[in-house]
Amino acid sequence: MDLSQIIKPELGYRYEFALDELDAAQECVHAHGFAIIKKVLPPELLQELQESVKQVLDPDNALGEGNSFTHPSFIEHAPAMWKLLDHEPYLRAQRTFCQSEDISILRTAAILRNPGSAPLAWHSDFCGFSNGPRKFSGDVLNRGPWPSGLWFYITGSNPEHGGLALIEDSHLTDWTPPEGFQFTPDRRSFHKKGTEPNRYVGFDVPGIVPIFTDPCDQIVFASRTYHAAFPNRTDRVRLSCAIIYRPRDYGIDAPWPLSEDAQAFLKAFPRRLQPYVDGYVGIDDDWSGDEGMMG
pLDDT in tens, 92-136: 999 999 999 999 999 999 999 999 999 999 999 999 998 888 889
Rounded CA separation 42/214 (Å): 12
Rounded CA separation 199/185 (Å): 10
Look at residue 27 and tell me if it is in a domain. Answer: yes
Give me the domain span that covers residue 133: 13-260
Look at residue 23 and tell me if it is in a domain. Answer: yes
Write the DSSP symbol of residue 77: G
Look at residue 56 and tell me if it is in a domain. Answer: yes
Rounded CA separation 22/16 (Å): 10
Look at residue 290 and tell me if it is in a domain. Answer: no
Query: In this structure, what CATH number is given to the domain that contains residue 219?
Result: 2.60.120.620
Look at residue 168 and tell me if it is in a domain. Answer: yes
Would you say residue 238 has pLDDT above 80? yes
Look at residue 276 and tell me if it is in a domain. Answer: no
Give how many domains the chain has, as a whole number.
1
Rounded CA separation 29/46 (Å): 24
Look at residue 42 and tell me if it is in a domain. Answer: yes
Would you say residue 6 has pLDDT above 50? yes
Residue 291: what pLDDT? 64
Is the whole-model pTM more than 0.85? Answer: yes
Look at residue 145 and tell me if it is in a domain. Answer: yes
